[in-house]
Every structure is written in structure tokens, then in C-alpha cells.
Structure 1
Amino acid sequence: MAEHDLNVPAQVNAPAQRLGVVIGNRHLTIEDVVAIARDQQPVSLCADAAWRDRIERGAQFLCQRLAEGATIYGVNTGYGDACQVSVPMALVEALPLQLTRYHGCGMGRHLEPAETLAVVAARLNSLAHGYSGVRYVLLQRLADLINHRILPRIPAEGSVGASGDLTPLSYVAATLVGERDVLFNNHVQPAAGVWHQIGHSPITLAPKEGLALMNGTAVMTGLACLAYARAEQLIRLSSRLTALATVALDGRAAHFHPTIFAAKPHAGQAEVAGWIRADLADWDDASAHRVQDRYSIRCAPHVIGVARDAQSWIRRDIENELNSANDNPLVDPDAQEILHGGNFYGGHIAFAMDALKTAVANLADLMDRQFALLVDDKFNNGLPRNLSGATAERAPINHGFKAVQISSSAWTAEALKHTMPASVFSRSTEAHNQDKVSMGTIAARDCLRVLELTEQVAAAHTLATVQAVRLRCQLDPYTQVPAPVQAFVERISAMSAFVSEDRPLEADLRTLTLAIERGLLTNADNQQEMPA
């Protein structure tokens, strides 16, 4: 669901009374990034004097080494394969601006506001580690982008994810120097004018600051944080929908017995089974029509559990990247060293996103298979064909959820198609200097697309399972619906009425998809309003 469907506040100044998320001298979490990006929390820089002093000493040490005649990549040399080209001192100050300008060649859609905020937060946190040789004022201006919602217009395409997200991050750097356009107060405006509106002037980049801003993994990492949060919501929702489908199909709660999962001790799989058991509390399956339900019901914890178990190492790798100095060269003011390396390589994010998109696509496939059982009167244990709620007289011309299941299958197929791993498609670029690259940003974008499609499948499945539970209760008024399932049915029914007569369901699906993306269906205590 596109972020431009969400309201972006037109507030010029961030609320002064809110400390928000502290950046610097602490471990940033995925939830911190999501709070900045989605909940629009402001940021504040660490107040510790020693931390701030280390930031400034890094910039001073870099200038000292430059004055001593040291050769420092990207400061008094050309970039990439041109690292053997010496840059005269008279041109050193102009070099960072040149870097931002020639990388202004991105294409594709522009990142949505939440995505842009996540990217800026990731870049700010990396530079705040004090290994990048940048001034404290640069961190302040990045914080200003977040707090004033000055959003660089970042094209999504153009990074191979190894020498950092150079092209997309050039749009962040260009914003700081007052070039290119930004989204501000819900209008696209020139960056230079926006800085003056908030009482600042564009900055002049010091040596290495252009490279420090661009030569890192902030785009793929920011997007990965958002992807992780959305996947977590789908994991929980697909578990709940399995419980609903079990009730609707008059299935067996015994498939989720704790001993089964103690015998095969994958922790995430057992946790998913526990969620389903909790939703089916007091469900009496003694009269179930089958000894064993079909795989998409019986094995649902085993499918969803793969994604749940993968979350642990995916979180580890995303947060390690988020809390790293990932540009080049690194500047260590304490050891008095300048270190040339390759921390800009995004391999861990690439692999994490390739894995996550595969796990999420499997959730789409699982939900679509459950949906297929519900609409097929050969397999749904007495429910009406296509879950039609029409009266007997109107039944011949009503088709219920027939077309919705076809669309769900289409979305599932497209999600599965996107699971081809991006990380194996390394390309040699830039005169074979960048001869092995990560493709991490492409993997992250692929993962977001798979999430978008899977959220649509989840919305369709949610409407269908709620319809099916209500139909089951009509067929058998003595059906005992577990309290968590009943509460969920009532919540969804308030958003989308029972389909007693065919009607277009697009609006219902869009509303529900947005609610799923926002995480509004995965917390029973969540009191946020549903989208209109």
C-alpha cells in the first residue's frame, strides 16, 4: 500500500516537548526506525559531551592528515576506479559536491515518505558512530530532515548495493546542500528554499562528507527495517486466520497440540501453534468430519513457523547493519588511523531480504490455499459454494467470493515470482572496480513488493474467513465460536458487511489492506482508528 495514501503532517517544526528517538551512543532497533518512519517520531542527538567530542575529533583528524599530505581515498583522490587520480588541494573542497551531482541519475518510483524517513534515520545512525570523519553539524542537518519532514525525492532504482547506495543517497546529500527537490508540507519544492523556510542555510560539504553520506547501506537498511515490521504483522495475522479457517471448516484444534511441537522443537513453529491454540481455546473438535485436516490447515504452524524462526537472525543482521559504520574510508580519531575497506558492501541485508521475501511469499501461498478450501463446496464441509450468503431464491445468480479468490491467486503467483534471489545477480561495474556487488537494495525492494502482494492476499483471506465463520454459524446455530475468533469476526464485520448479495469488494479490500500494512489487525488491544 503506497505511503502517499497516508497523511503526512504539514507541521514545519517538530514538537519541542517530545524527545523522540535518541540517535548516537546507543543501539538503534528496528522498532526505533519504524517509530521514526511510520509513527513520525522526532529524533534528538545524544547529549553526551564525550560522544559529540569524538564526532568533532574525527572531522578534525581527517583535516589534519589532509594538511600533512596524506593520500586519502575520496578526499584528495578520484572515486572508485579513479582512486589513482590525485586531486589538487585547490579542488579538494569542490570534490564532494561533484560526487553528489554526477550520481543524480536515479530512476523508477520515488520512495514513499515513510521509506525516505527510514533511509535518513539509517544514514544518520551510521554516521553517529564516529568513524566517518564528518562534522556534528552534518548530523544536525540530517536530524532536521527527519524532524521537519524535509523529504528528499529519492528514486528507488540505480543502486547495486556494494559501494553503498550511492545514487539514491546522492539525493539526501543534494538536499543538504540545497540542490534538487524535496517533499515538504505535502508539496514538491526546491530544497534550497525549504532550508530558508525553517531558518537554515544549505551547508557546504567538508572533505569526505559527500562520500560519507553516500557510501553506505542506508537505503537497503531503512527499507529492510520497514519490511521486517510488515512481515511480523503478516506472521501474526496468518496465524489468526488459520484459527478462523479451522472454525469455518469445522476442523480440528488437535493439530496444534503442544506435544506435537515439543517433539519437533523449532521455537517459532511452536510459538505459532501456541497462538493458534490460544485463538481456539475451548474449541470442541470432537465432531470434526475428518481425522486430519488438509495440509494448509494442519501444517500451518510449520509453514508460518519458518518465517517466525527466521525473524531472529534476520533481525540480528538488519540491526547489526543499522548499528554499523558502513562507509569508506573509516576515520578513527582515537587510534589516529584512516582505514580503507569495504564496509559499504550490503551482503547481509541482501541475503536477509532474499530470505524474508521467500518466507513471506510462502505465507501468501498458505493463505491462498486455505482460501481455496473455503470457497470450494467439495472441500469446505457444507459451506455454500464460493461463500455466497445469498438466499436460496437468489443463489443461482450470486457468486460470492469466486472472483476474490481468483484475484488472490493472481497476487500469490506474482509474489512467488518475485522470490528469485537478487543477491546472486551480482554485476561487475565501474571499470571492474565494483566487480562483486550485493544487490541488497534490489532485494529489499523486491521484499517490499512481495509484502504488498501478500498483504492483499491477507485482506482477501480475512474477508473470506470472516464470511465463512458467519456462514458456519448460520448453518449450525449451536456452533461454539472461541472468544478470540468471535472478537476478530466482529471487528472485521464492522469494517466490511456480510456479503449477502454480490457487490464490488475493491473498497473493502483496499481499506483492509491498509489496515494490515499499518499493523492494526495484529494487536487486539490496538485502539487506533481503522482507515476510512
Structure 2
Amino acid sequence: MLLSDINTPRRTVRFDRSRLTLDDIVDIARGTARPALSDDPAFRAAIARGADFLDRLLREDGVVYGVTTGYGDSCTVEVPLALVPELPHHLYTYHGCGLGAPLTPPQARAVMGARLASLSKGYSGVSVELLDQIVRLFDAGLVPVIPSEGSVGASGDLTPLSYLAAVLCGEREVLRAGEVVPAAQALRDAGIAPLRLRPKEGLAIMNGTAVMTGLACLAWDRAAYLTRLVTRITALASFALDGNDHHFDETLFAVKPHAGMQGVAAWLRQDLEYGGQLERNGKRLQDRYSIRCAPHVIGVLADALPFFRTAIENELNSANDNPIIDAEGERVLHGGHFYGGHIAFAMDGMKNAVANLADLLDRQMALLVDARYNAGLPANLSGMQGERAPINHGLKALQISASAWTAEALKLTMPASVFSRSTECHNQDKVSMGTIAARDCLRVLELTEQVAAALLITVRQGVWLRRRVDPEKMLPAPLARMVDLLGQDIVPVTEDRRLDPELHLLLGRIRDQAWSLYA
């Protein structure tokens, strides 16, 4: 079962002004947690103060960007007070120009959670009713259909977030139980009255970094799991290749003090049950780089993840629209917190490190299937023997596919953040491209997970063949347990067969994080 299909939440995430973690957003996205708006009177009063302050400014004919003026470069256009109530509707209406594949339901839920987190900080001038309306969508199982393309990452994720704003008001479409239905019908069926946005609320919903931040939370979680999975695959590949476990010696890694890299080496020692002894037994003294340097490759991502997490969680816990409403100080502060540069940098960096994992696995697979380098295993890891051996080709095609997925992942590592475009009459003349970077990162993760699925078939086959070639070679207990788990999904390849059913099954296991890997 996919985590996103689980209907019974396991915990409640309370939204107030306290700090949330990316794990909160990931659990909400998967459906294993539900959001709830705090009922603390002090919190609700703090939210209300911002909306009340704006109302007072309007009564006093105050000039507030996006409330009594047009948007962006149109900030010089004064809006008559009689038309102010219509302005938020116009904002989400004219931004209804998104294209591309819709965000998946987990992705859309992550976006909703990220926007709710920012608005709950109390600096956006919105009403409690708006926050409650977002929670009502969650409770009713309604997910806005949000096109993935159309944001430059500043002035926030305007176009994709317009689809959330519109749905709150009963417009456009939602997903309900996997079916696309008009939002007006879905809200009516759920007993939810469409929202009438207050003067700044359209801007507050749309003028922020919720899309890139929600996607970044999901990306971080998948990348963290891949560091562990690729380490386990490397241990299995090392065994299948009859490799040298002394490459991961603790003293060896003590002299290069990258903590993440050292942790990966420790996991490999644990998996291979390394006892600290150099045993040649006729082996090559040094394995090829894709095995020997695996901790150094995986370790880059392992060491970067804490920084990425901090950047993502700081953005998640920020008020990131414009203007910021300081109700306590009775000030309207015009700034640029919608700029998604930190998320853009994190996503550009993450996709680079993740693509390197795909490349590492691809190189390991190339060794495993090549009889010149796989220490006595059959070519293409074919399991067939006897008279039918000549017509069977083992994992030949799987290696080609893994190489194709790797190439595509590597192609996507060009930093999106360096492609800033000047938009909107040169008002938005330097933009982050953070949402494109996040989408690229998710695609790189998807491709790398596909390579990992191919390698799970490969190392399971390689271990099986190694034990057939060397019956006395003992499989370390941690790896034996993993092989047993894989054996529930994969049988050794003897007669050629299609492998895409197993690949899809393994992808589901990877994305559900089905295997518990290390502490």
C-alpha cells in the first residue's frame, strides 16, 4: 500500500506560531498526519489583529500595496475603495494560466501545508477564517488541482498558488477520491461555504514560496532515504563482486573528517561485518572506484542534508509574502520575502548530489554485468546454465535502461537558479527559479530511484550467483536479511523474462521506504 493511500491519519500536526519540521509536512502529504489549526485564544487573537489593522487602515484611507493598489509593476495604480473587495478575486483569476502536469495529491497537500504554516505566523494580515478554510479542505479530502508549471520563484509561486486561492473560493477544480470535480460542487457536497477573500488575502495566499517549499520537504525526505538505500546496495554489490571490505576501515576514515561520509563507511562496515583485518585471498588489492569510493560519493549528500534541512525548515517557518503586516507595531513593511533563493540553492545542490548516486549505481551495475570485471560471475549475470544458456541474456537490457535513466538524471543537474528571467515589466527583474529547481530535483530523485530499483534486481542476482560460484562464501547477516526481503519480490533470473513488473514493485517499496535501513 502506498503511504499516500492511507486514509487513517496517525497523528495531528498543530499549526500555530511554533516551529514546524519538514517531517510534519511530509506526513501531512502522505496522509499519515492531519493538520489542525490551534484553538489557543492568544494565537487566534494574534492572527485577527493583522486583519483588523488592515481594516482600520482602509477606513482611514491608508495606502497598502496590493490592497488599495494594483499588483507588481502596477503598484502605482490606485484602486478606488469601492473596488478593493474585488481585487483579490482578480489576482487569482488572471493568474489562472498554469500548464504542465498537475502536482500529485501528496505534492499538493505539501503545498497546502507549507502555505498554512506561513500564514499561521501572523504577519500576513489574513483572517482566522482563511486558515480554517484550508484545514477544511484537508478534513474533506479535497486537493486543489495545481498545474506544476508557471512560477519563476519570485514574486512567490503566484500562478500555482492561484489554484489554491481559487478553490478556497469555490472555483476551478479539486481531486476528490482520485476524481477531478468542480470545486464548487465539492465544497457544496462537503458542506463548506466558499470563502470571500478579504482585501489582502489573495496576495497573502499567492505571494509566497509554498510550492517550492512543500516540494522541497518531499525531496529532502526521499533523498535522505536514498543515502541509506544506496549504501545498502553498495554493500551487496561489494559482496557480489567479491570486494574488499577493508576499504571502509574506521581508522582509514578517521583521517578524513566528513561526518556524513564517515557515517556511510560505518554503515558499510556494519553491513559487511568488517572485523578490521586485511584479507587478500588472491583478490585485487584495490577495488574500482564505484565500490572503494562509494562512501565519498554518498557522503557528499549525507553531509549536505543537514544544511538542506535547515534551509528548507527556515523557509517553511517564515512569513514569506509581501507586504508583511506588523500589527503590533502598526506598520506595513514592504520587502521581498517571496524570493525563493534558499530553496533554489538547496534544490540545485540536492539534485546534483542525488544524480551522483545514480551515476555511482550505474557504474556498479556496469561492473556486475561485465564478465571482465565481476570476479568470475557469468556475463550479464545470466542465471541460465546448460543448453539454453546461449539464448538467455540476463540483465543486458536492464543495464541499458539504468544507463538511460542515469544519463537523464545527470542532464538535469544544470542549476535552475542561474537562469533568472526579468519578468513583469522589469519589476520582477531578478527571480529565484526555486520552483523549477524543486521540480527538477524531484525528477532526478525519480530517475535515481529507478536506477536503484534496477540495482536491487542486479545485486540480488549477483549475490545469488556469487554464492553459486563460491558456496563457502558466507553472506553477512545484515545482507542476508536484506536478500531475504528482496526475495519476497524478486526471484533469480534464469530464463529471460520481462522485468518491469518487478521494477514497479520495487519502486513502490522505495517510495514507501518499506525497508528499515540503519539507525
TM normalised by structure 1 equals 0.95
Match of 1:463 in 2: 457
Shift of the alpha carbon at 1:522? 4.4
Answer yes or no: is 1:188 the counterpart of 2:183: no
Who is 1:248 aligned against? 240
Assess if the C-alpha contact under 8 Å between 1:400 and 1:502 holds in 2.
yes
Q: Distance in 1 between matches of 2:150 and 2:274?
A: 54
Q: Which residue of 1 aligns with 2:484?
A: 490
Residue 326 of structure 1 corresponds to which residue in structure 2?
Answer: 320
Structure 1 position 394, deviation (Å): 1.7
- Alpha-carbon contact 2:384-2:392 (below 8 Å) kept: yes
Question: Contact (CA 8 Å) 2:365, 2:458: kept in 1 or not?
Answer: yes
Residues 170-190 of structure 1 deviation map (CA, whole Å, 9 limit, x = unaligned): 000000000001111221111
Match of 2:454, as an amino acid?
A
Deviation at 1:524, TM superposition (A): 7.2
Aligned partner of residue 42 in structure 1, secondary structure: strand
Distance (Å, rounded) in 1 between the aligned partners of 2:360 and 2:99: 34
For 1:523 and 1:147, how far apart are their aligned partners in 2? 33
Deviations 1:151-198 (A, max 9, x none): 111000000001010000000000000000111122111111111212
Q: Kindly tell me: are residues 288 and 301 of structure 1, through their superposed partners in 2, closer, same or farther at Cα, counting changes over 3 Å?
A: farther
Name the SS of the counterpart of 1:435 in structure 2. coil
Q: 1:87 aligns with which of 65, 79, 83?
A: 79
| Residue from 422, 426, 432 that aligns with 1:432 | 426
Match of 2:251 in 1: 259
Aligned to 2:381: 387
Q: What is the aligned-residue RMSD (CA, Å)?
A: 1.6
The AA in structure 2 aligned to 1:52 is R
C-alpha distance in 1, partners of 2:415/2:274?
43
The corresponding residue for 1:528 is none
The aligned residue for residue 42 of structure 2 is 50
The equivalent residue for 2:394 is: 400
Give 5+ residue unaligned stretches, structure 1.
526-532
Q: Contact 2:3/2:32 (CA < 8 Å) preserved in 1?
A: no
Query: Cα distance, 1:101 vs. partner?
Result: 0.3
Q: Following superposition of structure 1 onto structure 2, how do residues 4-403 of structure 1 map, counting pairs within 5 Å?
A: 8=5, 20-282=12-274, 285-287=279-281, 289-403=283-397
The answer to whether the 8 A contact 1:169-1:214 is kept is: yes
| 413, 418, 441: which one aligns with 1:419 | 413
**Residue pair 1:42, 1:146 contacting (<8 A) in 2 also:** yes
Q: Structure 2 vs 1, CA of residues 140 and 288 (structure 1 numbering), >3 Å: closer, same or farther?
A: farther
User: 1:85-115 deviations in whole A, cap 9, x for unaligned?
Assistant: 0000000000000001000000000000000
With the length of structure 2 as denominator, give the TM-score of the two structures. 0.97
Amino acid at match of 1:333: A
Letter of the structure 2 residue corresponding to residue 315 of structure 1: R
Tell me which residue corresponds to 1:529.
none
Offset at 1:483?
0.4
How many residues are paired up? Answer: 517
Q: Provide the rounded CA distance (Å) in 1 between the counterparts of 2:429 and 2:331.
A: 27
Identity of aligned residues (%): 58
Is the 2:17–2:122 contact (alpha carbons within 8 Å) kept by the matching residues of 1? no
Counterpart Cα distance in 2 of 1:124 and 1:74: 20
Q: Which moved more, 1:262-271 or 1:330-339?
A: 330-339
CA distance in 2, matches of 1:323, 1:369: 40
- Partner residue, 2:467: 473
Secondary structure at 2:174's aligned position in 1?
strand
What do the CA deviations read for 1:300-351 (whole angstroms, capped 9, x no partner)? Answer: 0000000000101100100000000000000011111110000000000001
State the shift of 1:8 in Å: 4.1
Question: Aligned-pair distance for 1:69?
Answer: 1.5
Are the equivalent residues in 2 in contact too, given 1:233–1:522 (CA < 8 A)?
A: no
Q: Which amino acid aligns with 1:161?
A: G
In structure 1, C-alpha distance between the alignment counterparts of 2:247 and 2:14, rounded to whole Å:
45
Question: Shift of residue 448 of structure 1?
Answer: 0.5
* Match in the other structure for 2:496: 502
Q: Is the 8 A contact 1:367 1:457 kept in 2?
A: yes
